[in-house]
Amino acid sequence: MQSHILSIILFTPLLGALILLFVPQENKSAIRWIANLFALGGFLISLPLVPMFWAQRFDAQQFKFIEGTANNWIPSIGAGYNLGIDGISFLLIMLTTLLGWISILSSWTAIENRVKEYYVWFLVLQTGMLGVFMALDFFLFFVFWEAMLVPMYLLIGIWGGPRKLYAAIKFFLYTLLGSVLMLLGILFLYFHHHTLGNPYTFSIPALYTTAKLIPFGTAVWLFLAFFLGFAIKVPMFPFHTWLPDAHVEAPTAGSVILAGVLLKMGTYGFVRFSLPFFPQVLTNPSTFWGVTVRGWMIGLSIVGIVYGALVSLMQKDMKKLVAYSSVSHLGFCTLGIFALNQAGLSGSVLQQINHGISTGALFLIVGILYERRHTREIAEYGGISNVMPIYATITMIMFLSSMGLPLLNGFVGEFTILQGAFTANWKWAAWAAPGVVLAAAYLLWLYQRVFFGTVTNEKNAKLHDLTPREVLTFAPLIVMAFWIGLYPKPFFQILEQPVKQIVQTVQPTNNNAPVNAQVLPSIASPSTETSWKGTASSAGIDLSKGKDPNSSWKGTASAVPPGANNRAALAAERTPQPKASN
């Protein structure tokens, strides 16, 4: 089982979808039971992966539980059915199987029309999401990436709200545009690998080795192609405009899985592809309109944090408020990624898990009120804690989790991200910190208006509290929120090895040390040749040897961007050492 556990986890939801095709659509009860059994089964089947992975968490091998080989699926083009995971994808897979089951369970009474099609597409979506996190072949990755686009489009377009078609088409066009640009970048990596004398292959580990040899100017364009694909999916500011519409119009379960898992595809792409494939782009001091590429990434992240929180404060619709809060929270995730140090990256991945737990619960909370009252307008409520005390208690716990209260999961992720950002540049952390305060403001103000006071609207006086099924959907999320908040050590241990490898790739001479101003010059001023010569001299390199065409370090030194001390040090390491005389 261990050798094929990824394939078993991957195709369990798809098997459920195929079985549902043979169930008469009039038998809604059987359809619901089968869908929920396969969703729960997918989660239970993934649980043995936890002790298996835990036993290998410190192994030096980058990917574990590898299935298949490169080029074994479509050998003529170099595509292979090749699966494997590291600590980052492991946590996201477990999050996906958990939220997939919770989402399907929450749909029991919410979906009454075209029930069979709804559950079939939801289970297909589940397989697509899992495949993205498991694929070690770019062709296979892109198949799964696109495969999850169609089910989400249909879930919004068929079972969504009054403006469902507008939201579905907007979601589809935005994400398709990003996918096309990413595909162009994949094809360039594919052909570039072949031009270096290697066979055609879409194998991601193989492309890792040759992507670093791409000239800087070309690498910038490739980084931009991947960036647009992932930034739209996150979404980062200013590519976020599809998200509020998609969230507001999607059914409750669709919003849960969209916020909890689909948005993580973008941040996962940054960590898995953008950083390892194009480290020279992020560490190069060259500026574009006076700012480095890394500076642009940090700037957009900080703007997203503050902008998303401010817009959340102004919302009158509860679901739209939670949607804009995702823009703010995921801004913290991208800030941690582009801090380019171990604290930032570890905090970012953990915060992605936290966001799936907390924001997934927030959409469930909004959906429960909507099922009872069919309105999400904040002004329609007040004093709900008097008639739904269990619901009010669970809501308070998840609100505190989302705003980052100590002892709950959100605090650990945000604190670690801000620590990484502060280590890289204290100004980044200073600009991002107000997002934490604003999160408390819009969540507590929302809670005050909806739950406190007396019941002023007679329609709310007879609302019934949570059913056992609804409590069950929240129970695992509450357990995870307290577990990560009280004892996050196992999660950081799982992330330690993959994060360390990424940091070493991006900062090869800096190892696990945090990025600082000495490694990257100020983004406002270009580096000078003098600073480069000083660095080379301190590294023991004689620049006069550059006139010798046979000098072994010349190629490396010529590719070193002026002022990048870490690159000069790498050139020094490659300089041949003189033999000791007898």
Residue type, 536: A
At 352 the pLDDT is 94
Give the CA distances from residue 387 to residues 240, 392, 464, 465, in Å, rounded to whole numbers and listed in that order: 36, 9, 7, 7
pLDDT at 515 over 70: no
CA 268 to centroid of chain Cα atoms:
4
The pLDDT value given to residue 318: 92
pLDDT at 508: 63
Cross-strand pairs, 64: 85
Per-residue pLDDT tens digits for 99-114: 999 999 999 888 888 9
Please tell me the distance from the alpha carbon of residue 152 to that of residue 357, in angstroms, as a whole number. Answer: 20
Helices (H), 250-317: 252-257, 264-269, 275-277, 279-283, 293-313
The Cα–Cα gap between 502 and 237 comes to 25
Q: How far apart are CA 310 and CA 249, in angstroms?
A: 22
- Report the percent of the chain where pLDDT is more than 90: 65
Distances 376 to 72, 129, 163, 248, 315 between C-alpha atoms, Å: 51, 29, 15, 10, 11
Over residues 259-271, the mean pLDDT reads 93
Distance, CA of 181 to CA of 225 (rounded, Å)? 5
The mean of the pLDDT values for the chain is 85
Q: In the predicted model, what is the mean pLDDT of residues 253-270?
A: 93
Q: pLDDT tens across 170-207, in order?
A: 999 999 999 999 999 999 999 999 998 889 999 999 99
Whole-model pTM over 0.85: no
Chain centroid offset of residue 570 CA = 31
pLDDT for 51-97, tens place per residue? 999 998 888 788 989 998 888 899 999 999 999 999 999 999 999 99
* pLDDT at residue 368 tops 50: yes
Write down the pLDDT at residue 39. 94
- Alpha-carbon Rg for the chain in angstroms: 25
pLDDT given at position 289: 79
Report which residue type is found at 128: G
